[in-house]
Copies of this chain bind each other. A is one copy, B any other.
Amino acid sequence: VIVKDAQLEWVRRPLQARSQQTLDRLLDAAEAIIEEKGLDGLTVGEVTRRAGSSVGAFYSRFADKEGLVRVVFERFTDQALATTEVVLDPARWQGVPVLDVLETMMMFMLNIVRERQGLVAALVARSALDPSLTALGERLHEHICMRMRALVIERGDSFAHEDPDAGMQIAVGMVLSFMESRAVYRTQRLPDERVASEVARLIVDYLGVTAAQDLPASSKKTNGRPQAPPSHAKE
Interface residues of A (CB under 8 A from B): 37-38, 40, 117-118, 121-122, 124-129, 131, 134, 137-138, 162, 166-167, 169-171, 173-178, 180-181, 183-187, 189-190, 194-195, 198-199, 201-202, 205-206, 208, 225, 228-232
Closest Cβ of chain B: how far from A209's Cβ, in Å? Answer: 12
A184 contacts across to B, CB distance below 8 A: 124, 127-128, 134
Checking B37, B166, B180 against A194 with a beta-carbon cut-off of 8 angstroms, the contacting residue is B166
15 A-B pairs with C-beta separation under 8 A: A37-B129, A40-B129, A122-B128, A124-B124, A127-B185, A128-B184, A166-B194, A171-B202, A174-B177, A176-B181, A177-B177, A177-B178, A178-B178, A180-B181, A202-B202
Contact present for B181 and A198 (CB under 8 Å):
no
A169 contacts across to B, CB distance below 8 A: 189-190
Contact present for B198 and A166 (CB under 8 Å):
yes
Which of A129, A131, A190 has the most chain B CB atoms closer than 10 A to its own CB?
A: A129
Closest Cβ of chain B: how far from A144's Cβ, in Å? Answer: 14
Give the interface SS of chain A, mostly helix, strand, loop or mixed: helix
Closest Cβ of chain B: how far from A123's Cβ, in Å? Answer: 10
Q: Nearest 10 pairs between A and B by C-beta?
A: A125-B125, A121-B128, A177-B181, A231-B231, A177-B177, A38-B129, A202-B206, A128-B184, A205-B231, A134-B185
Checking B173, B178, B195, B201 against A206 with a beta-carbon cut-off of 8 angstroms, the contacting residue is B201
